[in-house]
Structure 1
Amino acid sequence: MQWAQNYNPLGNMFLSFLVACIPLVFFFWSLAVKKMKGYQAGLLTVGVAILEAVLIYKMPIHLALEATALGGLQGLWPIGWIIVTAVFLYELTVASGKFQIISDSITSITQDRRLQALLIAFSFGAFLEGTAGYGTPVAIAGGLLAGLGFNPFYAAGLCLIANTAPVAFGGVGIPILTSGQVTGIDVFALSQMVGRQVPLLSLIVPFWLVLIMAGWKRTLEVLPAILVCGLSFSGTQFLTANFLGPELPDVASAIVSMAALVLFLKFWQPKTVFRFKDEEEQPSAASVQQQKTYTFGQITRAWSPFVLLVLVICVWGGSSSFKEWLGKATVMIPIPGLDQMIEQVRPIVTQPTPYGAIYKFDVLAATGTAILLTCILSKLLIGISWRRWWVTFWLTLKKLALPLVMIVSVLGFAYIENYSGMSATLGLGLASTGAIFPFVSPFIGWIGVFLTGSDTSSNALFSNLQHVSARQIGVDPTLLVAANSTGGVAAKMISPQSIAVATAATGLVGKEGNLFRFTLKHSLLLVSIIGIITLFQAYVFQWMIP
Structure 2
Amino acid sequence: MWTQNIDPVSNLGLSALVAAIPVLVFLLCLVVFKLKGILAAAIAVVAEVAVAALVFGMPATAIGGSALIGLLTSIWPIAYIIVMAVWLYRLAVASGRFDIIRASISGISTDQRIQVLLISFAFGAFLEGAAGFGVPIAICAALLVQLGFRPVKAAMLSLVANVAAGAYGAIGIPVIVGAQVAGVDVSELSQTMVLLLQPLTFLVPFLLVVILDGWRGLRETWPATLLVSVVFSGVQASVLWFLGPELADLGSGLAAMVALFVFGRVWQPKRIFREGGVEAPPVERHSFREVAVAWSPFYILTAFILVWSVPWFKQLFAAEGPLAAAVIKVPIPGLTGEVATAGGDAVATTWDFTPLNATGTAILLAVIVSFLTTPRLKAADFWGQLGSTLRDLSQALLLIAAILVLANIANYSGGSASIGSALAAVGPLFPLFAPIIGWIGVFLTGSVVNNNTLFGPLQVATAQRIGVQSDLLIAANTAGGTTAKVISPQSIAIAAGAVGLSGRESEILRASIGYSLGMLAFICVWSFALSNLFLG
Amino acid at match of 1:60: P
Conservation of the 8 A alpha-carbon contact between 1:442 and 1:484: yes
- Whether 2:326 is the aligned partner of 1:329: answer yes
Aligned equivalent of 2:62? 63
Kept after mapping to 2: 8 A contact 1:340/1:355: yes
Q: Residue in 1 aligned with 2:397?
A: 404
Alignment of 1:33-52 (within 5 A): 33-52=32-51
User: Could you tell me how far apart the structure 1 residues matched to 2:427 and 2:472 are?
Assistant: 16
How far the C-alpha of 1:435 sits from its partner, in A, is 2.0
Aligned to 1:5: 4
Q: Give the equivalent residue in structure 2 for 1:349.
A: none
Contact 2:141/2:498 (<8 A) preserved: yes
Residue by residue over 1:341-385, the C-alpha shift from the partner in whole angstroms, topping out at 9 and shown as x without a partner, is 111134xxxxx3110110011112111111111111111223200
Report which stretch shifted further, 79-88 or 242-251: 242-251
Moved more, 295-304 or 175-184: 295-304
**Deviation per residue, 1:453-507 (Å, 9 max, x gap):** 0000000011111111122222222211111011111000111011111011111
- Residue deviations 1:431-452 (CA, integer Å, cap 9, x gap): 1122221110100000000000
Q: Is the 8 A contact 1:323 1:365 kept in 2?
A: no
Contact conserved, 1:102 with 1:302, CA < 8 A, in 2?
A: yes
Question: CA offset at residue 61 of structure 1?
Answer: 0.6
- Is 2:339 the counterpart of 1:342? yes
Q: Which stretches in structure 1 are left out of the alignment for 5+ residues?
A: 347-351
Paired with 2:307 and 2:412, the residues of 1 have a C-alpha distance of: 35
Q: TM-score, normalised by structure 2?
A: 0.96
> Within 2, Cα distance between the matches of 1:340 and 1:115?
54
Q: Which moved more, 1:467-476 or 1:77-86?
A: 467-476
2: distance between equivalents of 1:387 and 1:329?
A: 31
Letter in 1 for 2:352: K
Cross-structure match for 2:511: 518
**RMSD in angstroms over aligned alpha carbons?**
1.4
Structure 1 pair 521–420 and aligned structure 2 pair: CA distance change class (3 A): same
Which residue matches 2:500? 507
User: Partner amino acid for 2:312?
Assistant: S
- Helix, strand or coil at the partner of 2:352: strand
Q: Please, which of 286, 300, 304 is the counterpart of residue 292 of structure 2?
A: 300
Q: Which one of 522, 526, 535 corresponds to residue 528 of structure 2?
A: 535
Say whether the 8 Å CA contact 1:327–1:364 is kept in structure 2: no
Q: Superposition pairs for residues 85-484 of structure 1, below 5 Å?
A: 85-277=84-276, 279-280=278-279, 290-318=282-310, 320-321=312-313, 324=316, 328-346=325-343, 352-382=344-374, 383-484=376-477
Q: Unpaired segments of 5 or more residues in structure 2?
A: 318-322
Q: Which has the larger displacement, 296-305 or 239-248?
A: 296-305
Counterpart residue identity of residue 370, structure 2: S
Q: How far is 1:399 from its partner? A: 0.6
Q: Secondary structure at the match of 1:360?
A: strand
**DSSP-derived class of the 2:272 partner:** coil
Match of 1:485 in 2: 478
Could you tell me how far apart the structure 1 residues matched to 2:238 and 2:104 are? 32
Encode CA deviations 1:287-345: one digit per residue, 9 max, x unaligned.
7xx32222333222222111211112112212523662676522111113311311113
Query: Is the CA contact (8 Å cut-off) linking 1:317 and 1:323 kept in structure 2?
Result: no
Percent identity between the aligned chains?
43
Identify the range of structure 1 (58-67 vs 365-374) with the bigger mean alpha-carbon deviation. 365-374
SS at match of 2:346: strand
Measure how far apart 1:193 and its partner are. Answer: 0.7
| The 10-residue stretch of structure 1 (415-424 or 166-175) with the greater mean CA deviation from structure 2 | 166-175
Does the Cα contact within 8 Å between 1:327 and 1:365 map onto a contact in 2? no
CA distance in structure 1 between the aligned counterparts of 2:37 and 2:436, rounded to whole angstroms: 24
Cα distance in 2 for residues equivalent to 1:353 and 1:319: 30
Superimposed CA distance per residue, residues 60-96 of structure 1 (whole angstroms, 9 cap, x where no aligned partner)? 0110111011111101110011111111111112222
Residue identity in the other structure for 1:384: L
Instruction: Write the letter of the residue equivalent to 1:320.
Output: W
Equivalent residue number for residue 320 of structure 2: none
Shift of 1:33: 0.9
Question: Does the residue aligned with 1:88 lie in a helix, a strand or coil?
Answer: helix
Contact 1:128 1:136 in 2 (8 A): yes
For residues 327 and 297 of structure 1, the distance between their equivalents in structure 2, rounded to whole angstroms, comes to 42
Contact 1:50/1:65, CA 8 A, preserved across alignment: no
Instruction: Give deviations 1:175-221, integer Å, cap 9, x for gaps.
Output: 11112222212222111111211211110110001100111111211
Cα distance in 2 for partners of 1:327, 1:277 equals: 55
Equivalent AA in structure 2 for residue 313 of structure 1: I
The one-letter amino acid of 1:64's match is I
Displacement after TM superposition at 1:387 (Å):
1.1
Q: Which runs of 4+ in 1 moved over 4 A?
A: 325-328
State the AA in 2 paired with 1:299. Answer: V
What residue identity is the alignment partner of 1:486? A
Rounded to whole Å, the distance in 2 between the matches of 1:197 and 1:227 is 20
Q: Residue type of the partner of 1:425?
A: S
For the residue of structure 2 that corresponds to 1:168, the secondary structure is: coil
- 2-structure distance, mates of 1:404, 1:425: 28
Give 3-state SS (helix, strand or coil) of 2:169's partner: helix
Deviates more, 1:177-186 or 1:114-123: 177-186
Corresponding letter in the other structure for 2:473: L
TM-score, length of structure 1 as denominator length: 0.95
Partner Cα distance (1:328, 1:295) in 2: 48
1-structure distance, mates of 2:347, 2:248: 32
Q: Is the 8 A contact 1:131 1:171 kept in 2?
A: yes
